Chain A
Amino acid sequence: MATFEDELRLALRRQEPSPDFTERVLARVADAPTRRAPRMSQPWQRPMIRWVAPVAPALLLAAGGAEYRHYRGERAKAQVLLAVRIAGSKLNKAQRKVHMLAHRSNS
């Protein structure tokens, strides 16, 4: 009675290929149509992106710079308006008092 080891040995025994095995394999390889593996198109390889990619950071910086300059300008404008309002009102107050005194002394 064959043991389990014997059955396993029989199943995994080395088998020599037939003499024409190599020829058959080479013939099949030669007959097979040549097929290239599809190339994955990388986003940066697309012409449009290839040109835009290096310029984009510069464009972003320029846009950010313009936005910041506009913000600074608007802030400076608000400060100018406030400054003129405060300085003008104080000066006007002094001027009105001087006019009032002059008017009193004339009458």
Chain B
Amino acid sequence: MKAAGFFIAFLALAAGLLPAQQVKWNFDKLAARASDSTEVSLDGALLQLGAKFLSDDDKDQAKIKKLVGGLKGIYIKTFEFKKPGEYSASDVEPFRAPLHAPEWQRIVGTHSNEDGESVEVYIKNDSKGIGGLVIISTAPKELTLVNIVGAVDLDSLSELGKHFDFPEVEVEKKK
């Protein structure tokens, strides 16, 4: 009994010491059907390296630098399809599976009948506040999955998404 208690305490301690990790998703099924896909995979080291190259003199880049300073990773996958209906709700369901309570909490879920777009926002709670973010955005011909690991400032990120007009950057388009 005492040993079991120690084991549980050890597991709890180990869980606390483990670094925040990205959500593991399998994209194989969708990748086979998508006409295009874009992938951004930035672990902590790469993220901080990229942040170093952001200019402090540029107001927008300085904001991004501050935003990513507290992050441990950003992982994004976007699939584009030639026709609507090439993926279904059942294809999206596995991406929601790991996002369960009490670790994850869905804070926003929107759907538009007009354009068929849905956006779901999940946050990961940890002792210090928000420890991660997942966005699942679906449109008839597009599916985007965003996983941000680390303490993310939602307001800043949303603000950046609103007014930044970045040029399209081709990173890793895959057929």
| A window 62-97: CB within 8 A of B | 72-95, 97
B160 x A84 contact (CB < 8 A)? yes
| A window 30-87: CB within 8 A of B | 72-87
Contact pattern, B 91-117, Cβ under 8 Å of A = 1, otherwise 0:
000000000000000001010100001
Which residues from B are CB-within-8-Å of A76? 42, 46-47, 49-50, 53
- Inter-chain CA distance A90–B121, complex, in Å, is 9
B54 x A88 contact (CB < 8 A)? no
Tally of chain B residues near chain A (CB < 8 A): 43
> Residue B52 at the A interface, CB < 8 A?
yes
B53 x A87 contact (CB < 8 A)? no
Contact pattern, B 151-175, Cβ under 8 Å of A = 1, otherwise 0:
0001001111110101001010000
> Residue B51 at the A interface, CB < 8 A?
yes
B64 x A91 contact (CB < 8 A)? no
Contact pattern, B 36-80, Cβ under 8 Å of A = 1, otherwise 0:
001011100011011111100000010010011000001010100
| Cβ 8 A contact of A97, one of B52, B110, B160, B166 | B110
Which residues from B are CB-within-8-Å of A83? 40, 42, 74, 76
Separation in Å of the A90 CB from the closest CB of chain B?
A: 5
The answer to whether A97 and B157 touch (CB under 8 A), given A73-B49, A83-B42, A83-B74, is: no
The answer to whether A87 and B146 touch (CB under 8 A), given A80-B51, A94-B110, is: yes
| Cβ 8 A contact of B169, one of A73, A81, A87, A90 | A81
| Cβ 8 A contact of B171, one of A79, A91, A95 | A79
Residue ID in chain A nearest B172 by CB atoms:
A79
Q: How large is the interface on A (under 10, 10 to 19, 20 to 34, 35 or more residues)?
A: 20 to 34
Binding site for A on B (CB under 8 A): 38, 40-42, 46-47, 49-54, 61, 64, 67-68, 74, 76, 78, 108, 110, 112, 117, 119-121, 133, 135, 137, 144, 146, 148, 154, 157-162, 164, 166, 169, 171
Q: Can you list 28 A-B pairs with a CB-CB distance of less than 8 A?
A: A73-B50, A76-B46, A76-B49, A77-B51, A78-B171, A79-B40, A79-B41, A80-B64, A81-B169, A82-B166, A82-B171, A83-B40, A83-B76, A84-B64, A84-B157, A84-B160, A85-B166, A85-B169, A87-B135, A88-B158, A88-B162, A89-B162, A90-B137, A91-B157, A92-B158, A94-B108, A95-B158, A101-B110
